[in-house]
Amino acid sequence: NFGMKGGAAGGGYAQVVPMEEMNLHFTGDFHAITSAHNLLSALIDNIPFVAVSIPILHELIPTLPPGADVVWWALALGACLGGNATPIGASANVTTLDLAARRQVRISFREFCHFAIPTTLITLVISSAWLTGMIFFDYHAALYASLAVAALLGVVAKVRPA
């Protein structure tokens, strides 16, 4: 969906621009942005990744249709939640594993990912549903719906026998 503009023109200014209008519907590009940021944040630390992504989205936003600010939410949720998938995805993970190791608690990369990847995938699905609510309705409707779902999950968890 993106192309380079001005990189070889000798002007010293290259930018990433959309090659076609973005589709912000349920199956559209917002989910791809969230998923890509989720995956890449799991593979590299999410702070430098977001620092690189912000100028790209800053240039992209003015070219999008009204209401496309949801792309910022896609970046925030994808990068934040993606950082939870691996020990190297977020600085907090690295710090926690180091503190555990200092107390002779060894958590391998594989053990961490065994629990973290499924959790990350679940939160990605939930965040994609929330983003869909923001697109089709608005921020407040998505917020109230997510609070209702969280309350329902809390009730189900309490009722379910251990």
Q: 29-38, pLDDT tens digit by residue?
A: 656 666 776 6
Could you tell me the pLDDT band of residue 139, with boundaries at 50, 70 and 90?
confident
pLDDT at 125 over 50: yes
Contact by Cβ (8 Å): 50, 90: no
pLDDT at 121 over 50: yes
pLDDT at 42 over 50: yes
C-beta atoms surrounding 29 within 10 Å: 20
Of 88, 91, 87, 81, which is closest to residue 37 (Cα–Cα)? Answer: 81
What confidence score (pLDDT) does residue 8 get?
Answer: 46
Of 14, 13, 12, which is closest to residue 4 (Cα–Cα)? Answer: 14
Can you give the pTM of this predicted structure? 0.63
What confidence score (pLDDT) does residue 6 get?
Answer: 40
Give the residue carrying structure tokens 């629990």.
115
CA–CA distance, 10 with 128 (Å, rounded to integer): 40
* Burial class of residue 52 in the structure, from the number of CB atoms within 10 Å of its CB (0-12 exposed, 13-18 middle, 19+ buried): exposed
Contact by Cβ (8 Å): 15, 5: yes
